[in-house]
Amino acid sequence: MPNGQSVITTAQTMMASVSNGIQTILDSANEHLAHIERRKAHLETLLHGSHTEAAAKMFAALDAAIAALKKCITALDGQPQNAAAIEARL
C-alpha cells in the first residue's frame, strides 16, 4: 500500500474524511438556510403589500431554495455519525 499503510488504515482515513466532509456540507447548508430565511423575512418587510408579479416570482424562488436546502439537510442529517461509525468498525 502507498505510504506503508494497510488497506484498513487507508479505508479508515477515507471514512473519517467522508464523515468530516459531510459534516462540513451539513453545517454550510444550515448556515445558508438561516441566511436565506433571514433575507426572505427582510424582503417580506420591505415589500409588504407589494403584489407585483416580480415579487411573487422572487418569493417563489426563495421558497424553492429553502425547501431544497431543508430536503438536503434532512438527507444529510445523521450521515456524519453513520460514516464515523463505519470508520470505527474498520
- Listed as own residue / partner, the contacts of 83-88 with beta carbons closer than 8 Å and 24 or more positions apart are 83/15, 83/16, 83/18, 83/19, 83/22, 84/15, 84/16, 84/19, 86/15, 87/11, 87/12, 87/15, 87/16, 87/19
Higher pLDDT, 58 or 85: 58
Residue ranges of domains in the chain: 2-89
Give tens-digit pLDDT for 39-59. 999 999 999 888 889 999 999
Percent of the chain with pLDDT over 70: 97
What is the pLDDT, as a whole number, of residue 1? 53
pLDDT band at residue 69 using 50, 70 and 90 as cut-offs: very high
Give tens-digit pLDDT for 4-18. 778 888 888 888 888
